[in-house]
Amino acid sequence: MADKVLVKGNEALGEAAIAAGCRFFFGYPITPQTELSEYMAKRMPKIGGTFLQAESEIAAINMVLGAASAGARAMTSSSSPGISLKGEGISYIAGSDLPAVIVNIQRGGPGLGGIQPSQSDYFQATKGGGHGDYHLIVLAPNSVQEIVSLTFDAFDLADLYRMPVMILGDGMLGQMMEPVVFPEHSERVLPEKTWATNTTKGLRKKNIINSLYIKPDVLEKINFERYARYAEVEKKEARFEGYLLEDAELVITAYGATSRISRNAVNALREKGIKAGLLRPITLWPFPKEAYQAAAKTAKAFLTVEMSMGQMIEDVRLAIDCARPVHFCGRTGGMIPTPGEIEAKAEEIARAF
Amino acid sequence: MAGRMLLAGFGGQGILFAGKLFTYAGMLEGKNVTNIPEYGPEMRGGTCNCSVIIDEEPIGSPLVLEPDILIAMNLPSLDRFEKTAAPGAKIFVDSTLIGRKVLRDDVEAFYIPATGLASDAGIPKLANVIIVGKVIRETGICSMEIMDKVLEKVVPPTRAHLIAPNKKALEIGYEFA
Amino acid sequence: MSIVFERPKALSDVLMHYCPGCTHGIAHRLVAEVLDELGVCDNTVGVAPVGCAVFAYNYFECDMIEAAHGRAPAVATGVKRVLPNAVVFTYQGDGDLAAIGTAETVHAATRGENITVIFINNTNYGMTGGQMAPTTLPGQVTTTTPYGRDPKLIGYPIRVCELLSTLTGTAYAERVALNNVKNVRNAKKAIKKAFEYQLAGKGFSIVEILSTCPTNWGMSPVEATKWLEENMIPYYPLGVYKDIGGDK
């Protein structure tokens, strides 16, 4: 096993991508993810990879589309406003059934917003962001070690299901240093990329990468097929972590950075005799609905904690079909909720039990 | 022992480096650690701070809002963070640069003229490391012995000549009474 | 009996969707002939635009990608970086290349991206029914300039070859036209040279092809050709705008 090293989230992500076989990174500077681009600029030339600073976020995502078309593991990263620009390309990547990894180190919005941590791109990540019927697999790490493991998974899942995968982080995770171990290559068996436009070499018929289907019945059929694949993803790939859920009457639920803060709150609440637990979705799409349904069996109420005005809360309500009240505790604009704020809200809810 | 530490000062004083020393020490002693700097426009020449947590237990939030250990290397930092320290906290003040005393009486204050000591010892850039030595002495957050290994990790091989002055700085801080 | 004329192997045996009299068909054929003559079709990836040539992926026998509007040079960049030894070309119209994709075009050129761009300039957005393009001439009537393009209101056309020739990364830029046999032969020579420059690793090459759009111009093919000669060529002079020759 490799040594533990102390690494920043942004850099761990870059190193993990390289370890996962990504050799093509197309970036554009934006706080708070610039360090990832800088890291790739430093590392890629040393390992025979390509780092290219594009003229825009739009160009960067389309370079990813081109590199993915040619069969390579390719990646781009940005922060919220830049991800909006990438929306077009992400839709095309999804519509062309291409694997690609997109990183969003979220900052406060809307508009130019701010540069402090935020989770207000949840809707954009899980419900679309670009146009059309499609999904991204959305992975939400909450530690630097998990950034590493989920980056490996991101490339594998993208290849396995031929779809774009987003790693949804925030400024806090990107900036945080924690000890990590970089694992060896992944063990997954992945399908060969027979569809890639990497030149026919006279050995096969030409391949076409395309998202245009001018006949509506054909487009519908393609979309049906894609959604059958999405159904498989929903069945197989939903992931979560539970903490003290077995007897939890109050299920606090949060992803990424807020899940760590919530864990502090859960510990404090337990000390006060309140049966609190934490349900942390690791995949935001597919959303781990069954875990919520299971938690609802002991839960009297749910409390979602987000750095937004309340976005994931809608999926929580849908997952349990509104069978329990779902409360909200959040800060926005780059403000980070404190464990104290979460505790206060939780105690207020628990008093009604 | 576990510790929730906040280190603060001007950019250029080596706040992040000092934070890294503690973080590595905790990691090498087999504990859970987190380290997160405050980022933003402050990064560019202004004040600078970072949160370090060292804990036997898994760490939740990496942000230190109520430090058990506060290191203040300039006045704005002491002004901003003194009031946030947990009751019983240990506050370390670079008394070369900060003229005032700690005002709270529910905390323990340590004054060390780190910038002056560093200058006198001919290692003017290592006031931060002198304070690290003092913090180790007064809190036992990590052992002095582990610092040899820490410096090996933190100081790149191309700058190996800096290890000796860093050790000297740690000693000065540790011995300062 | 010997065969004296046949479909180039790089051109697919399918019915094209282009309007009667449109010169896209000729341009496609010239590109395909060049791919055949250079023997590179097996080693080529083409990138189609959004616009009239959107279905170009059905017409060439090499691997093809259909890009988003204006993004073909960025997509081609991604491909070329993965497959530096492959031949990579884009085929784009004026709206795609010089309006929505201006940044992608200019930056692919300035990076000296080793790709070839085939640029069809027919002074309007053909696919959507003849709206003003960045290359629409002053005074020219389109569906969005019903009183003629007024430079005071909407500015002047972009001369793409001239613009790109100022960039160090551009290795070769030539403007040709498909209005008569001589010019068609010149066009093919230019296209071939552009691909040869790519094969030699010289950098970004572009061939701007002045083309007719009889349907949207509301003319017969013969009238359209005449209009091209009388209006387009004077505004967009034919010729080589950049040629680094043997230099790299």
Best of A7, A42, A177 to mutate (most B CBs within 10 Å, chain B): A177
- pLDDT score at B40: 60
CATH code of the domain in which A123 resides: 3.40.50.970
Model pLDDT for residues C102-125, shown as the tens digit of each residue = 999 999 999 999 999 999 999 999
Distance of residue C18 Cα from the nearest chain A Cα, in angstroms: 15
Percent of chain C with pLDDT over 70: 99
> Which residues of chain B make contact with A336, given a CB cutoff of 8 A?
63
A211 part of contact set with chain C, CB < 8 Å: yes
Model pLDDT for residues A226-284, shown as the tens digit of each residue = 999 999 999 999 999 999 999 999 999 999 999 999 999 999 999 999 999 999 999 99
- Closest CA in chain C for residue A76: C78
Confidence of residue A2 (pLDDT cuts 50, 70, 90): low
ipTM of predicted assembly, 2 dp: 0.93
- CB–CB of A320/A303 below 8 Å? no
In terms of residue numbers, what domain contains C237?
24-243
- pLDDT score at A257: 95
- pLDDT score at A348: 97
Quick check: is C63 in a domain? yes
- pLDDT score at A200: 98
Distance of residue A231 Cα from the nearest chain C Cα, in angstroms: 27
Written out in words, the top-level CATH class of the domain with range B3-175 is alpha beta
Choose between C32 and B156: higher pLDDT: C32
> Which residues of chain A make contact with B39, given a CB cutoff of 8 A?
31-32, 115, 171, 175
- pLDDT score at B126: 97
Model pLDDT for residues A192-209, shown as the tens digit of each residue = 999 999 999 999 999 999
Model pLDDT for residues C59-92, shown as the tens digit of each residue = 999 999 999 999 999 999 999 999 999 999 999 9
- CB–CB of C26/A179 below 8 Å? no
Quick check: is A196 in a domain? no
Same domain, A217 and A266: no
**What's the token pair of residue C2?**
């010997």
- Those chains having 3 or more beta-carbon pairs within 8 angstroms of chain B are A
In terms of residue numbers, what domain contains A90?
5-185+209-237
Model pLDDT for residues C122-168, shown as the tens digit of each residue = 999 999 999 999 999 999 999 999 999 999 999 999 999 999 999 99
> What average pLDDT does range B74-89 have in this prediction?
96
- Closest CA in chain A for residue B50: A176
d(CA B112, CA B120): 13
- pLDDT score at A184: 74
- pLDDT score at A31: 87
Partner-chain contact B36 A172, CB within 8 Å: yes
Confidence of residue B41 (pLDDT cuts 50, 70, 90): low
Partner-chain contact A210 C57, CB within 8 Å: yes
- Closest CA in chain C for residue A62: C75
Partner-chain contact A171 B65, CB within 8 Å: no
d(CA A99, CA A192): 12
Confidence of residue A183 (pLDDT cuts 50, 70, 90): confident
Quick check: is A192 in a domain? no
pLDDT surpassing 90 at residue B45? no
Quick check: is A191 in a domain? no
> What average pLDDT does range B39-45 have in this prediction?
55
Model pLDDT for residues B122-153, shown as the tens digit of each residue = 999 999 999 999 999 999 999 999 999 999 99
Partner-chain contact B20 A267, CB within 8 Å: no
- Those chains having 3 or more beta-carbon pairs within 8 angstroms of chain A are B, C
Q: Which residues 216-235 of A have a C-beta within 8 angstroms of B? A: none
Same domain, A215 and A333: no
Same domain, A245 and A178: no
d(CA A265, CA A338): 9
Q: Which of A126, A148, A124, A151 is nearest to A137 (CA)?
A: A126
> Which residues of chain C make contact with A90, given a CB cutoff of 8 A?
none
Start-to-end CA distance of chain A, whole Å, equals 48
Q: Which of A22, A178, A180 is nearest to A103 (CA)?
A: A22
**What's the token pair of residue C55?**
């279905």
Q: How many domains are there within chain A?
A: 2
CATH code of the domain in which C75 resides: 3.40.50.970
Confidence of residue A128 (pLDDT cuts 50, 70, 90): confident
Residues 6+ apart with CB under 8 A from A162: A97, A98, A99, A195, A229
Same domain, A71 and A44: yes
> What average pLDDT does range A109-127 have in this prediction?
95
Best of C66, C85, C110 to mutate (most A CBs within 10 Å, chain A): C66
Best of C50, C60, C81, C89 to mutate (most A CBs within 10 Å, chain A): C81
Percent of chain A with pLDDT over 90: 94
Quick check: is C19 in a domain? no
Confidence of residue B11 (pLDDT cuts 50, 70, 90): confident
* Three-class secondary structure of residue A122 per DSSP: helix
Crossing angle of helices C24-38 and C181-199, in 10° steps, is 40
Q: Which of C143, C142, C75, C145 is nearest to C115 (CA)?
A: C75
- CB–CB of A163/A198 below 8 Å? no
Q: Check contact C-B (3+ Cβ pairs < 8 Å).
A: no
Partner-chain contact C82 A66, CB within 8 Å: yes
> Which residues of chain A make contact with C77, given a CB cutoff of 8 A?
52, 59, 63, 66
> What average pLDDT does range A306-324 have in this prediction?
98
> Which residues of chain A make contact with C86, given a CB cutoff of 8 A?
70, 198-199
d(CA A190, CA A197): 18
Q: Which of B167, B70, B168 is nearest to B110 (CA)?
A: B70
- Tell me how far the alpha carbon of residue B23 is from its chain's centroid: 10
Q: How many domains are there within chain C?
A: 1
Quick check: is A17 in a domain? yes
Residue A128 sits at the vertex; the CA angle it makes with A126 and A131, to the nearest 5 degrees, is 175
> What average pLDDT does range A173-187 have in this prediction?
87
> What average pLDDT does range B20-25 have in this prediction?
97
**Can you give the pTM of this predicted structure?**
0.94
Quick check: is C156 in a domain? yes
Residues 6+ apart with CB under 8 A from B145: none
- Closest CA in chain A for residue C42: A201
C→A contacts (Cβ < 8 Å), by residue, are 41-45, 47, 54-55, 57-58, 60-68, 71, 74-83, 86, 103-104, 106-107
A50 part of contact set with chain C, CB < 8 Å: yes
- pLDDT score at A185: 67
- Closest CA in chain A for residue C61: A206
pLDDT surpassing 50 at residue B42? no
Confidence of residue B171 (pLDDT cuts 50, 70, 90): very high
Same domain, A63 and A124: yes
Quick check: is A194 in a domain? no
- C179-184 contacts at long range (C-beta below 8 A, 24 or more positions apart): C179/C210, C179/C212, C179/C225, C179/C228, C179/C229, C179/C233, C180/C225, C183/C238, C184/C26, C184/C30
- pLDDT score at A132: 97
- Tell me how far the alpha carbon of residue C203 is from its chain's centroid: 17
Best of C36, C52, C79, C111 to mutate (most A CBs within 10 Å, chain A): C79
pLDDT surpassing 60 at residue B1? no
